[in-house]
Amino acid sequence: MQWTPGGTSSDIEDRRGESGGGGFGGFGFGGGGFGRVPMSLGGLLLMLVIGFLYNHSGGGDGSAPAPARQESSADRDAGEDRQVKFVSFVLDDAQNTWDRTLQGYRHAKLVLFRDYTESGCGYAQSATGPFYCPTDEKVYLDLNFFDELNRRFGAPGEFAQAYVIAHEIGHHVQKLIGVEQQVRRLQRSDPSERNPLSVKLELQADCLAGVWGHSTRERSIIDQADIASGLRAAAAIGDDRLQRMGRGHVAPESFTHGTSEQRMTWLKKGLDSGDVRACNTFEESPR
């Protein structure tokens, strides 16, 4: 990726000095199968996409200025300092893109931590991997995840890391336009659809990450090698691959994020189109 290290984003909350405890474990990517999603949901999401996205007037985020970032007492070696600057670049670039695309976009915060920390959704642990909490509208990330992505899952490269961050910001977009809330209501009303709906929600976040990736390609921030790196990362964290690694067999009924092929397909759809309307996973059956 072509980027220039700068400062730390005002949207980053650094808690690395507050964390402690055990080392970095595996990943808690869950699972669930594929079933029929109610057509009413697909229609609703299509209206949400058309009605809330594509504000070409260039409106701002409509949010109050972020409070001053609290300095952490964490040790910051040169390598980690560069990682923080990279995360800051990706976070700001992705959110600036959504500022221009989504009317009334409100910035998410990204919490850097070590080992574990508290979130609005309960305790955040390194072992679960990065995640977005809709309750407090924050992304939680332990930088050690990037080492695991490279060494354990064979997905090196900066755009692989950027894809992970952009995916979590995609969940924030889903929360802002009401998709996340509607999915949760449907999951509560029909528990048999919990995992299939989760898969569609996750695949849409992959596609939304690709929409941002499309904008970076247009600005020559990424090239084909970077795109290949991002697709490898998507494949590396597919439910089927993770289950083979962890259990030695695949149980499709327990998928919650989608297969490697599905995750690559929807990330690529966003990358190729740059169009949020191409990300309606609820109307189109994931393949």
Say what the pLDDT of residue 262 is: 97
CA dist 200 and 282 (Å) reads 6
Instruction: Note the pLDDT tens digit of each residue in 253-280.
Output: 999 999 999 999 999 999 999 999 999 9
Domain residues for the domain of 124 are 12-279
Instruction: Note the pLDDT tens digit of each residue in 188-245.
Output: 999 999 999 999 999 999 999 999 999 999 999 999 999 999 999 999 999 999 999 9
Q: Centre a 10 Å sphere on the Cβ of residue 3 and count the other Cβ atoms it contains.
A: 15
Q: Is residue 67 part of a domain?
A: yes
Q: Is residue 2 part of a domain?
A: no
Nearest of 156, 159, 261, 272 to residue 214 by alpha carbon:
272
Q: Which DSSP helix (H) or strand (E) runs through 131?
A: strand 131-133
Give 152's pLDDT tier (boundaries 50, 70, 90): confident
Q: Is residue 59 part of a domain?
A: yes
Strand order in the sheet with 131-133: 12-14, 109-112, 138-141, 131-133
Q: Is residue 160 part of a domain?
A: yes
Q: Is residue 228 part of a domain?
A: yes
pTM comes to: 0.82
Q: Is residue 6 part of a domain?
A: no
Say what the pLDDT of residue 196 is: 95
Give 42's pLDDT tier (boundaries 50, 70, 90): very low
Say what the pLDDT of residue 79 is: 67
Q: Is residue 263 part of a domain?
A: yes
DSSP 106-124: -PPEEEE-SSEEEETTEEE
Q: Is residue 284 part of a domain?
A: no
Instruction: Tell me how far apart the 2 most distant CA atoms of the chain are, in Å.
Output: 51
Q: How many domains does the chain have?
A: 1
